[in-house]
Structure formats: C-alpha cells, structure tokens
Amino acid sequence: MTTDIEDYYLPETFARIKAEADKHETPFLVVDTQTVGQCYDELTEAFPVAKVYYAVKANPAPQLISLLKDKGSNFDIASIYELDRVLGEGVSPDRLSYGNTIKKSKDIRYFYEKGVRLFATDSEADLRNIAKAAPGSKIYVRLLTEGTHTADWPLSRKFGCSNDMALDLIILARDLGLEPYGISFHVGSQQRDIGAWDSTIAKVKSLFDRLSDEDNIKLKMINMGGGFPGNYVMRTHDLKTYAEEITRFLEEDFGDDMPEIILEPGRSMVANAGILVSEVVLTSRKSRTSLHRWIYVDVGKFSGLIETMDEALKYPLYTEKNGEVEEVIIAGPTCDSADIMYEDYKYELPLNLAIGDRLYWFTTGAYTTSYSAIEFNGFPPLKAYYI
Ligand SMILES: Cc1ncc(COP(=O)(O)O)c(C=O)c1O
C-alpha cells in the first residue's frame, strides 16, 4: 500500500503544495505556512492556559518566525545564531528563553546584553556561569525524564538532572542572586505515550512542595517542553487528546494552585506543513533473484532526512504511480553507505516506479532544512519554498 493523501492533507492543502512543487526541480521542501498557522491555533485552543515558546530549531525559516511572532508566540532559542535570527525578525527579548543547557559563558552574556532574562540549566557549572554573566535572571532547571523509549526521537541522558540535583540547583540559584523560577522537562520528541507527562508532572509537583515547605522557595512555572506529535506512519493520538490528558494530569497534581505553564513545541508546529519532493535517481536489484528492489532518490540522510537514523521516524511516502507494489529499500544519493533511509522497515512502492519519477515525503516540515549538510559529496543544502 502506498500513502493516501487524504490521510495526511486536506485536498486544498495538498493542491497548494503540489502547484508549488510542480514549478521546481527536485530535491526541495515545500512548506505551507497556512498549515503552520493552523497548528499554532490548534495548540493554543487545546491548551488555553499555556504560553507557547516555538522551538526555533525545528525550522528556523524567517517566514515561520515572522508568522508565529504575529500570532503572539514566544520562542525557545538554542544558540546566539538563532537569537540573532529571531531578534532580526523584530521579536522582543522578553518573549525569548535560552533553552539550551549547554552554553558558553560569553554566549550567556550575549543573550543577557540583548535583553533575555529567562535561562534553562541542569548543572552547577552552567548555573554559576549564568549567575555571573546574566545576574538576577530567571532560572528554570531541567529534569531528566523517563519513558523515552516510547518517543521516536528521544532526548534522554544528555539533558536534565535528577530531582536531588534539581533541588540543589534551585537553592543555589537563590543563593547566587538569581530568581528560581521553575522546572522544565522534555519527554522526548514525537512522544507516543501520553503517560510520559503524567509521571514527570508528579515529580515536578514533589519538587515544588519540597522547596516551598522546607526552603521557602515558591516556584512559579513549569516548562513542559515539546514531544507533541506530527503525522507520521506510526500514528498517535490527536493533539486534542494530548491536551486533555496532560491538563488532567496537571489539575490532579496542582489543583487550584496552577503555576504558569510553558510549552516548547517544535515538531508539532511545523512537521505537518512540509512535503519534501524527491526524484528517483536509480533503481536496482543486487542479484538476479533478489526479492527487493533498491530505490535511490536525490535526498537522503545528509540532505534533511537524518531523522531516519535507526529508522526512527517513518515518513509517509507518496508517489503518483500506482498498481502492484513490492517491498523496497530506500537510499540517498551520496557515496556513503550510511545514507540508507529504510532497509529494515519495508516500505511498499509500485513496481512501475521508475527513474525520474517523483517521490513525495510527507510530514517533513520539521528538522529537515536545519539538519541538511551544506556540501556533503558536493550536494548543496536542501532548498525550501514557503507558500
Ligand atoms: C529544549 C527543547 N525544547 C523543545 C524542543 C522541541 O521538541 P519537539 O520538536 O519534540 O516539539 C526541543 C527539541 O529538541 C528542545 O531541545
């Protein structure tokens, strides 16, 4: 079975994207900005209590930053380069958070000088750097999370700290003259188990209580990160169900004493808006009797599809060819044998799919352009058109 357009796009949305796609030579990404606007509206309607900080890393296109700025979004920033980009689009620094826990002292100072006053941390050394380079700023401490095996793109281990360490850091933040403001976590990107938020919110609640009861520190904010879904082959609950369940978890733990809630969606804001358009470069069989055909296309792991690493994300694939299908192996155009997108998970594509045919990669608006290499094997970075 190949992909049905209707499972992923409204007919008019697909028609809009296709009309743009027909004008260009592959490979490229088309992003439908109207869909991004709808994703923002859907999220803010589903989570009326939450403030949205768009995770710029998911797709840093100026067109999207400007659109989300006009809609009232705030922004989660990972580097001084993203900061310059977002400030350049006219976003004021009070709408920004420096969400990266790994940062140089001079970069902290740069954010501070530009007016940013909200910083994430998960280590003592970073906290001490913030206290020196960004005195008096608001601090939130990132927790390690569980349940990352149910996320398609986990963010485990590298970020966050244990509850004990978070407690120490919050107290130290106060002692260093910073404002201990809240707790953050990220349950892993494309998190398919909504229960992952439940256990983490409970951990956050115990920290809030302990700090209030024993240290007289009243935290004000929970940053619940990203993890909300895009529409890939492995289906998830819809966003409304995520919102209802997560709101219920929050109400169960915090009741009427609800802190400020921040969300940092990246993927769920832009993934569904994008279609990456590629062309079949070559097809082959490795032996006369081979059961599988190799399909080589003009995009790959190094031109935007790095999230196919370990076949983590399974993009819905669409072709205009139809008829009898067969299992295929799908690989990119570079001279690197890591550049195979799908080999274990067998996509089925039409037998008559041939050199020169287009293959459309649905749900590719997030983490594609920004991940693309700049000249691996001489190939230019992934082009993108924003409509
Ligand atoms: C700190 C932070 N916030 C938010 C996000 C966005 O997560 P997602 O794309 O799952 O929405 C990320 C992703 O890496 C992140 O590192």
Q: For position 162, which CATH number holds?
A: 3.20.20.10
- Among candidate residues 240, 265, 290, the one where a domain is terminated: 265
Q: Are residues 367 and 337 in the same domain?
A: yes
Measured in Å, residue 242 CA sits from the centre of ligand 1 at: 16
Place of tokens 């256990």: 199
- CB 253 less than 6 A from any atom of ligand 1: no
Measured in Å, residue 224 CA sits from the centre of ligand 1 at: 10
Q: Are residues 88 and 173 in the same domain?
A: yes
- CB 58 less than 6 A from any atom of ligand 1: yes
- Among candidate residues 218, 243, 265, the one where a domain is terminated: 265
Structural contact between residues 108 and 99, judged by C-beta atoms closer than 8 angstroms: no
Whether 33 is in a domain gets the answer no
pLDDT computed for residue 121 by the predictor: 98
Q: Are residues 120 and 234 in the same domain?
A: yes
Q: CA 156 from chain center: how many Å?
A: 14
pLDDT computed for residue 365 by the predictor: 98
Which residues, 6 or more positions from 215, have their beta carbon under 8 angstroms from its beta carbon?
Answer: 170, 171, 174
Whether 254 is in a domain gets the answer yes
Whether 49 is in a domain gets the answer no
pLDDT computed for residue 157 by the predictor: 81
Q: Are residues 187 and 292 in the same domain?
A: no
Whether 223 is in a domain gets the answer yes
pLDDT computed for residue 1 by the predictor: 55
Measured in Å, residue 265 CA sits from the centre of ligand 1 at: 6
Q: Are residues 161 and 256 in the same domain?
A: yes
Torsion over CA: 185, 188, 194, 199 (sign): negative
pLDDT computed for residue 298 by the predictor: 98
- CB 268 less than 6 A from any atom of ligand 1: yes
Q: Are residues 249 and 148 in the same domain?
A: yes
Structural contact between residues 226 and 148, judged by C-beta atoms closer than 8 angstroms: no
Q: Are residues 122 and 101 in the same domain?
A: yes
Ligand 1 pocket test, candidate residues 73, 75, 76, 228, most atoms within 8 A of CB = 76
Task: Give the residue, by CA position, lying nearest to ligand 1 atom 2.
Answer: 225
Nearest 5°: the CA angle 372, 378, 380 is 40
Range of 179's domain?
Answer: 60-265
pLDDT computed for residue 149 by the predictor: 82
Whether 181 is in a domain gets the answer yes
Ligand 1 atom nearest to CA at 191: 10
Measured in Å, residue 167 CA sits from the centre of ligand 1 at: 23
Measured in Å, residue 227 CA sits from the centre of ligand 1 at: 7
Whether 11 is in a domain gets the answer no
Q: Are residues 214 and 285 in the same domain?
A: no
pLDDT computed for residue 158 by the predictor: 87
In order along its 387 residues, the chain shows pLDDT tens digits of: 578 999 999 999 999 999 999 999 999 999 999 999 999 999 999 999 899 999 999 999 999 999 999 999 999 999 999 999 999 999 999 999 999 999 999 999 999 999 999 999 999 999 999 999 999 999 999 999 876 688 998 877 889 999 999 999 999 999 999 999 999 999 999 999 999 999 999 999 999 999 999 999 999 999 999 999 999 999 999 999 999 999 999 999 999 999 999 999 999 999 999 999 999 999 999 999 988 999 999 999 999 999 999 999 999 999 999 999 999 999 999 999 999 999 999 999 999 999 999 999 999 999 999 999 999 999 999 999 999
Whether 30 is in a domain gets the answer no
> pTM (2 decimals)?
0.96
Q: How many domains does the chain have?
A: 2
Q: Are residues 241 and 111 in the same domain?
A: yes
3-state secondary structure of 282: strand
- Among candidate residues 265, 283, 314, the one where a domain is terminated: 265
CA separation for the pair 183, 220 (Å, rounded): 9
Exposed e or buried b for every residue in 161-175, given b needs 16+ CB within 10 A?
bebebbbebbebbbe
